[in-house]
A and B are shown apart, each in its own frame.
Chain A
Amino acid sequence: MRQGLQFDDAGRLRHLLTIEGLSRQTILEILDTAESFLSVGEREIKKIPLLRGKTAVNLFFESSTRTRTTFEIAAKRLSADVINLNVSASSTSKGETLLDTIRNLEAMHTDLFVVRHNESGAAHLIARHVPPHVHIINAGDGRHAHPTQGLLDMFTIRRHKGAFEKLKVAIVGDILHSRVARSQIHALTALGVSELRVVAPKTLLPMAVEKLGVRPYADMEEGLDGVDVVMMLRLQRERMQGALIPSEQEYFNLYGLTPAKLACAAKDAIVMHPGPMNRGLEIDSTVADGPQSVILPQVTYGIAVRMAVMALIMGGSAEPAGGRR
């Protein structure tokens, strides 16, 4: 049942809503496909005709620059027609429901919706109500999932660290409110890393977080001890409001990634961040711009990974564009 919604009757990936439920094999297939798309961005003519004649709508109910742009570039490199819609400002403020918005756009013969929404479960809701030929990619729903971010993080780790089985990974920061963290956790668990830790004060960890297969640490130096990958999360500056943390300064003292804290990790550990970064809040600039940082490559890989996901869900391998419906 859990796998049901993302897969068609033949068991092929039809939507990408969450990494949870994807097999190791499926994840690796996406990463391998992304690997083959990586070179497209380096060509003089950065386009392949895989999705020619298809219409993709970037439907963002929540603002975003990086994610929306990389999705747009990815779709354009696959030759799809792309429309960007920032809905927060238009329909919903007029009282139109989420499903009404989708139905209207569907009536314009959209093939793919890339959806970001501030409510957990929004992408699932949409996927449940679109006809079979329409595909959904979740570009972030509330605190729930951001699967393409999780996948591009895996792509980054594989490129820089090789096989997953031997790796110790720590995710640091506001796990409670983070869809990125949840997607990373599901991906890393499916790929079988040797150890997965989360580092945060209890106020920023979900209750029962161990049930997700991670080990919680309140002490950052302990949590980073010997890890190969440090994945930082963005801290929303308004978190003081809910009495979750006392001050930005105290947070930085305890959980900001400084060179001293990074020294607890393995010597060749890589540092990742999904962006946008709060320099001096969760990460020190010397680390963000330092030799162990792979934060900018993450963005580059993001395009290839999103191309791979679009290609896979919209028609398997390299079939002629417009062939399937």
Chain B
Amino acid sequence: MSILIPIFSVVKKEWRIMLRYPSWFISFIIWPIIFPFGYIFTAKALSGMESSSLAQFQSIAGTTDYVTYMLIGTTIWMWNNTMLWSFGSSLRMEQMRGTLESNWLCPIPKISILFGYSVSQLLMSLIYISLSVLEFMIFYDFKFVGSPLLALLILLVSVPSVYGLGFIFASLVLWVKEANSMVFLVRGIISIFCGISYPLAVLPSWMKPISKFIPMTHSVNALRAVISTGATMDDISGEMLFLIISGIILMLLGLLAFFYTQRKAKTLGSLGHY
């Protein structure tokens, strides 16, 4: 049996279940508009009503367009946030539903279940990001200075890092059986170290090296450079290389974490534990 069959089946099943909760789509539409407001208003307050302090922001951020700056940061944060809640918590969710063991009884490579969840979440994120861009254009006067295709390429190159982290996270959550505190911890780290709402230049010196090791920092930096200042592929080649290498490493670590957790769960008998 092709591994694609279980992957596609998981995607179809998850979308069917998701469509049974229509209220979810309302937040899907509203959230991209309201979520950046808090950050944009904070930036507006700090830059002064007449944008008198923007020169300082420009000197460290490379742009005066703090709205686009915030929109890019919050969108990437939200992508990671939804990935952690849905894909990262997927195995735990199956365990709580009571269906994890039923899936494990199917003659398939078990990793295909997690791949199915990642594809399902990736499709959801693509829709979310596309919808966000559309709404940003309408409500925030969002414009691409650089190439939209290059921005899309950055997102695609970021996928292995985001979902590699998701593989590790999904395995860990199955282990510790508590998703909430783990999501808060990981998204907190992303929020602080990746410069979601501020340039990394404002970080204390001990934090800066850490932020450089987090792939999301490079995704955000590259997207801001392309969208706000029109950077080209040559300008962001360093970021792209880091994303490719970190993506490979995180995916491998994610697969290792999954296989180790699967083996451990079979020994402890914890697949069916609530």
Whether chains A and B associate is no
Task: Name B residues whose Cβ lies closer than 8 Å to a Cβ of A.
Answer: none
